[in-house]
Amino acid sequence: MTEHHRPLFGSRIGAILAAVGSAVGLGNIWKFPYEAGQNGGSAFLLVYLACVLFLGVPVMLAEFFMGRHTRQGAVGAYRRLGIGSPWGYAGYLGVLGAFLILGYYSVVAGWTAEYLCQSASELMCGTQEFKSPERFAAEFDAFITSPVRPILWTVLVLGLSFAAISFGVKHGIELSAKIMMPMLFFLMIILCVRAMTLPGAAEGLRFFLLPDFSKFGSRTVLSAMGQAFFSLSIGMGCMVTYASYFERSTNMQATACSVAAIDTLVAFMAGLVIFPAVFSFGIAPEHGPTLVFVTLPNVFQQMPLGAVWSTAFFLLLVIAAITSLISLYEVATAYLTDEFHWGRLPAAAAVGGGILFFAVFCSLSCGVLNDFKILGLTIFDALDSLTNRVLMPLGGVLVCLFVGWRIDRRILKAELTNKGSVPFHFFRCYAFFLRYVAPIAITLILLDQLNLFR
Ligand code: TRP
C-alpha cells in the first residue's frame, strides 16, 4: 500500500492514546499486581522498571521504526525490509502470537464484563447480600467453569472490538482510544485516592514499595521481563502495526517514552489501589490470577459504598481490556488487508470468527474441557505460557537482531530522527543495545523460561 492510501492516525495525541490503549490493559491491572504480589512486592517493581527502560523502550522503538518505515503490518514489514532472506517469515510469528493471545485475552476480558454487569446491577438495585470469602471463590469458579455464560460475554467484547476495527484507523481505533483512555485515567485516580485513604492502607503501601529481597530470585527477573513485554504490547508486531499508521512527523522517540511511562504509571497506580485495599481488610495479597475476581470483590463488599467502587473498578478493567483487544485484533486484520487486499470489514469479520473459535475452546478449558491437557496444561494455560514464555521473548529477540544487524544504520537513524529534525543523542548507544545487549539478555531469559538452566 502506498503512503497516500495508508490510513493514518489523525493527530499526535491520537497516536499516543491509541498506543497507550494497546499497552494499558489487563496486563497492568490484572496481571501486574498479582505478579508483584507473588514476587516480593517492590523488589519486583524495581526489576520491572529496569526491564521497561532497558529492554522495553528500545524494542518498542525498533518496532516503531519497522512499521512507519515500511507502512506495513508485521508480516509486510519484515518481508519488505528483509527481501531475499528468510527474515520475511519472522512477521508470521507476530500474527500467530497475536491470534493466540487473543484466544485467552478475550475470555478474560469477557469475565471482566460479567463482573462489571454484576456490580452495576448491585449498584442499581441497592441491595448487597453479605458473602463469605469462600462464597466469592465458589461463585467465580462456578462462573468460569460454566459452558455458556463466559462465552456469551466473550462474544460481546469481541463484538465491540469488531465494531471499533471496522470503523477504521481514525474513526474506530483512534476515536475509541480518545474516548476511553481519559475515562480510564479518571477512574484510576478516583480509585487511588479511595484506596490510599482507607484505614490501614500504609501496610499495603509498605508491602508494595519496600523491597523484600528474600523473595528475590531468578523467577523475579523472568517474570518482570515477561510482564514488561506483555504490558508494553511488544514482541508480537502490535506496535509495528500501529506505527504503520503514524504520521511522518510523529516524534517516535517521544512517543515510545510516553507510552512506556504512562503504561508503567498505570500499572503502578493499579498497585496503589489494590495493595492498600487488600491489606486494609487483612486479606493476603498472594492470590495469583484470582486476585481481582475473588479477593477484590470481597474487599469491596466491606467498604462503605462498595458497589460504587466495584462498578468503577470493573469499568476501568473493561475499558483497559477492550482497547488492548482492539490492538491485537488489528494485527491480524492488517495482515489480511495488507497482504491480500481484503476490505476492512470482511477482514475484521474473518479474524473475529477465527478468534472466537480459539476463545470458545479456551473458555471451555476452564470447565468441561479441563481434563484435556497439552503438555500437562489446560488450553487456557497452554496459550498463556506459549505466548508469554516463548513467542513474545522470541519475537523481541528477532526484532532486535533484525533491526540491529540487518538495517543500515543511516536508514534507522533517519527514520528515528525524522530525517534529522529530532535529535537522537544516544543513537550509538541505542544501536549497540539493539545489537548486543537486548538480544543476549532476552535470550538468556528465554532459555531460562524453557527450563534449560535447571
Ligand atoms: N499490553 C496489553 C496489556 O497489558 C496486552 C497486549 C495488547 C499485548 N497488545 C499486545 C501483549 C501485543 C503482547 C503483544 O494487557
pTM here is: 0.93
Q: Which atom of ligand 1 is nearest to the CA of 236?
A: 14
Q: Is-contact 128 96, C-beta < 8 A?
A: no
Which are the contacts of 373, defined by CB distance < 8 A and separation ≥ 6? Answer: none
Q: Would you give the distance in Å from CA 40 to the centre of its chain?
A: 22
| Diameter over CA atoms, the chain | 66
Q: Whose CA is nearest to atom 6 of ligand 1?
A: 233
Identify the sign of the CA torsion 34, 37, 39, 43.
positive
Ligand 1 environment, Cβ below 6 A: 22-23, 25-28, 101, 230-231, 233, 236, 238, 324, 327-328, 392
Q: Whose CA is nearest to atom 12 of ligand 1?
A: 233
- Predicted confidence pLDDT, tens digits, the chain (454 residues): 456 679 999 999 999 999 999 999 999 998 998 888 888 778 899 999 999 999 999 999 999 999 999 999 999 999 999 988 899 899 999 999 999 999 999 999 999 999 999 999 989 987 777 888 788 889 999 999 999 999 999 999 999 999 999 999 999 999 999 999 999 999 999 999 988 988 888 998 988 888 777 877 777 887 888 899 999 999 999 999 999 999 999 999 999 999 999 999 999 999 999 888 888 887 777 667 788 898 888 888 888 888 999 999 999 999 999 999 999 999 999 999 999 999 999 999 999 999 999 999 999 999 888 888 888 888 988 988 888 888 999 999 999 999 999 999 999 999 999 999 999 999 999 999 999 999 998 898 788 777 655 4
Amino acid identity of residue 211, one-letter, is P
Q: Which atom of ligand 1 is nearest to the CA of 232?
A: 1
Q: Is-contact 45 271, C-beta < 8 A?
A: yes
